[in-house]
Chains A and B, each alone.
Chain A
């Protein structure tokens, strides 16, 4: 069983809809949670970063962490065709330790005009 599970999709939504993405994990030692966005044939780029449980909002993006359920989510409001990409969740145990990240498999999102 993978430490981090993520539905591969694809998730297809009309422009303007809310995109809801999530990951589940098994290791309660994870403390830092990230979402990376990866456009086709490009490297991933950091989108959101959250420490421990709670919500974090940045423009149209909201990240939620529920450590009691070992579940994290990313919501994209007013989705645009430019949001079409693969979204990878990632998590880390402690600061330092080589900053090693454990990634989910990624969810492909397609926003249709």
Chain B
């Protein structure tokens, strides 16, 4: 099992450019999440999905869009990148259980917007 994988690992964009981050999980998890991590801010939820074909806004959704066309994939899009979106992006997935509801995280994508 690869767990949660993210593509790409690093990316540099110019202001106004667009890009898509791909998250894939092979654990058959129902829920998937996109977070951003900035120094001193912890992890902040951007968007999440509770199942194939569903998406919902998190804490900081502005400037991002998501799609969950297949259960194993969750895409995060930036239509017009801004320097404020320079961050490390983490994808996570979970399968709600009675005991832990553990979220499993990917290795992250480091994005710099110039």
A residues with a Cβ closer than 8 A to B are 4, 6, 8, 32, 41-46, 49, 88, 90, 92, 95-96, 98-101, 103-106
Asked whether A43 lies within 8 Å of B106 as measured between CB atoms, the reply is yes
B45 contacts which of A41, A46, A101 (Cβ < 8 Å)? A101
How long is the Cα–Cα vector from A101 to B100 in the complex, in angstroms? 13
Shortest B74–chain A CB gap in Å is: 13
Count, A-B residue pairs, CB within 8 A: 57
Shortest B5–chain A CB gap in Å is: 11
Shortest A52–chain B CB gap in Å is: 14
Q: Kindly state whether residue B2 has any CB partner on chain A within 8 Å.
A: no
For B41, the chain A residues whose CB sits under 8 A away are: 105
For B105, the chain A residues whose CB sits under 8 A away are: 43-45
How long is the Cα–Cα vector from A42 to B107 in the complex, in angstroms? 5
Asked whether A100 lies within 8 Å of B100 as measured between CB atoms, the reply is no
Asked whether A44 lies within 8 Å of B90 as measured between CB atoms, the reply is yes
For B108, the chain A residues whose CB sits under 8 A away are: 41-43
For A43, the chain B residues whose CB sits under 8 A away are: 4, 90, 92, 105-108
